[in-house]
Amino acid sequence: MNYPNGKKNGSDSLKSSQKSETTFSNRGMTLEDDINETNEYYLVKGKAVIHKKPTPIQIVKVDYPKRSAAVIKEGYFKQASTTDYNGIYREKYIDFEAKETKNKTSFPLANFHDHQINHMKSIISHGGICFVIIRFSQLEETYLFPAKNLFLFWENQMNGGRKSIPYSYIKKTSMEIPLYFQPRVDYLTIIDQLYF
């Protein structure tokens, strides 16, 4: 630990490998953490009920080393997951995916799968609100990108087109979500502007 005067604390026992572990732990989870905190804030304040969807897992093998403990040794995903989050806001069904990229110039479509696109199309066809929250981590920018804007790029990719969405297109057709202390990623304010 360094004090403001520049002198090191003599009891500093952290090694450089431990520092890098601490610094880089939970990388790639920051957007998810921010959204989870935001959803908890919305729930407590009575604004919306939106949760992260659990991934269904089939447990195949369990060991019982003690009577009071079970250890899962083998398990498989039961089915392909759809999107990350769903819930209800202002009497409308909300369904969205959260994605983060280090890329500064585009968002790779490889982050999505056919079943997710089909799920999003189905949500929209039934009158739900569906979108992607995209964070460009290197630029420190987060956007609410309507799912309908994604479909054109997905279809073009399937027909030999580009395999990413340009950053400039996302910036033009999305709304940036500013970061706050609470709620951290206030995407409901953006939903109000885009959908209500």
| 18 backbone φψ class: left, alpha, beta (φ>0; ψ -120 to 50) | alpha
Report pTM. Answer: 0.75
Alpha helices in 86-185 (DSSP H): 114-125, 147-158, 167-173
**CA dist list (Å): 75 to 60, 62, 69, 72:** 5, 9, 17, 7
Identify the pLDDT of residue 57.
74
Identify the pLDDT of residue 77.
64
The helix (H) or strand (E) run that includes residue 60 is: strand 57-66
Identify the pLDDT of residue 65.
78
84 belongs to an annotated ligand binding site: yes
23 belongs to an annotated ligand binding site: no
| Burial class of residue 178 in the structure, from the number of CB atoms within 10 Å of its CB (0-12 exposed, 13-18 middle, 19+ buried) | exposed
82 belongs to an annotated ligand binding site: yes
Six token digits for residue 171: 């910036």
- Residues whose CB falls within 8 Å of the CB of residue 85, separated by 6 or more in sequence, listed in order: 35, 39, 50, 51, 52, 53, 94, 95, 96, 97, 98
Domain ranges of the chain: 26-195
Question: Which residue type, as a one-letter code, is found at position 134?
Answer: I
SS3 per residue for 70-87: EEEEEEEECCCCCCCEEE
Q: How far is the C-alpha of 50 from the C-alpha of 42, rounded, in Å?
A: 8
63 belongs to an annotated ligand binding site: no
pLDDT along the chain (196 residues), means of 10: 43 39 43 95 97 79 79 71 92 96 96 93 97 96 96 92 96 95 94 95
- The architecture of the domain spanning 26-195 is 3-Layer(aba) Sandwich (3.40)
